[in-house]
Structure 1
Amino acid sequence: MVPRPDHRGRSPLLPRLLTAGRQVDKVQKLPEVRAVERGQVLRLCRCGQCASLPDAAAACTHLLELTVGRERHLLLCRCGRSAKLPFCDGSHAPAALGLKERWRSFSGR
């Protein structure tokens, strides 16, 4: 029996093929791209433990108060794994596998 596509036309096998051989979080939290304006004051978490990442909770003792100097976009961590908190350094992404390893995990050989 062939699996039927979901309401978006995607095969239910696709997520398994894309993650074969890798440990992947069930809910991967991607970074937040935040547009900020000059003079805006942000209270950002640097401990990685706040439930409201990237924003600091009221009780957070490791917060960064940032006054924005110019209009820009910030890439802020939401997973808490970054070594450069509150900014994202790509730690949420699994290590990239080479073609040989991806083929092995796909084919099972």
Structure 2
Amino acid sequence: MAVTVVGGLLLLAGIASLVLPGPGMVLCAAGLTLLGTQYTWARNSVGWAKHQARQGVERTGSSRLLTLGSVACGLVLLGVGITEIFADLPLLNTVTAVLMIAGGLFLVISSCWARYQQTQAH
């Protein structure tokens, strides 16, 4: 049951992050990987999702502008999430705030790491 709930939440957060700022394909890949331990349909989709996530990270790291944009979006997610926890913003709740903080941290770290790897390769 826990695998289904956590994997489903990761997948839903990833789908939402495809249109909102955040690491959409990376979260989708993580959710599908977790769900793939219990469900065949998810296991069959993991390879495609991981490939898309890797391409997105590489594309972000290859451009200084994309890296800066991703880091800026991650910082906005962090700021809104932290503000929600301390100021109780309308239309948000603590679960959303925690997901925003986690997504923001992941986005900042993965973007910086991708850029670092690109600069080391050249």
TM-score normalised by the shorter chain: which range applies? Answer: under 0.3
* Larger Rg over CA atoms: 1
Greater per-residue strand proportion: 1
Higher helix share: 2
Give the TM-score normalised by structure 1: 0.25
Q: Which has the higher contact order (CA 8 A, sep 6+)?
A: 1
TM-score when scaled to structure 2? 0.23
